[in-house]
Structure 1
């Protein structure tokens, strides 16, 4: 399994955890917005590796946008939810492509 695929799974799970109503927002607020910066960086790394491995990278771009716009409470929750779903589907497709090769 390629490292970009593993990062898609990890970022998808992290986005899903941040999408938990109230708990995700509380975690971000009490951490001083640090998780959003961390997620921005990890999405950027995943994007670069996905491009290098000729994999789809739409979830990583959506993750970058989410990390920037997630400072808006309700919009952030919705974006984390959508991004988690997209990244987990993308991770599943990449896993299937890795096994096919």
Structure 2
């Protein structure tokens, strides 16, 4: 399994956790929004790895955007769920 695929599974799973109503929001608030900063860095690392592997970068780019809008309660939850789906589907269908 490639590093790009592993990172997409990790970031996708983390986004899925953050998208859980109340639980994800409580986690983000308990870290004083530090979780969103960590996720931004994780998506940036995944983007760089995917770019070097000539893989899809869309999920990582969307994840970076999600890290910024994640501070808006309902919009953030929705974006976390959408980003998780995109990253996990991409990791599953990844052929390398």
TM-score w.r.t. the length of structure 1 is 0.93
Q: CA deviation at 1:5?
A: 0.8
Number of equivalenced pairs: 96
Alpha-carbon offset, residue 2 of structure 1: 1.2
Instruction: For residue 48 of structure 2, give the secondary structure of its aligned residue in structure 1.
Output: helix
Quote the Cα distance in structure 2 between the aligned partners of 1:39 and 1:91: 17
Cα distance in 1 between the residues matched to 2:33 and 2:62: 18
CA distance in 2, matches of 1:85, 1:4: 16
Distance, in Å, in 2 between the alignment partners of 1:15 and 1:5 is 15
Could you tell me which runs of 5 or more consecutive residues in structure 1 were left unpaired when the two chains were aligned. Answer: none
Structure 1 position 36 matched with structure 2 position 36: yes
SS in 1 for 2:85: helix
CA shift for structure 1 position 8: 0.1
Question: Matched residues in 2 for 1:48 and 1:65: separation?
Answer: 16
- 1:27 aligned partner: 27
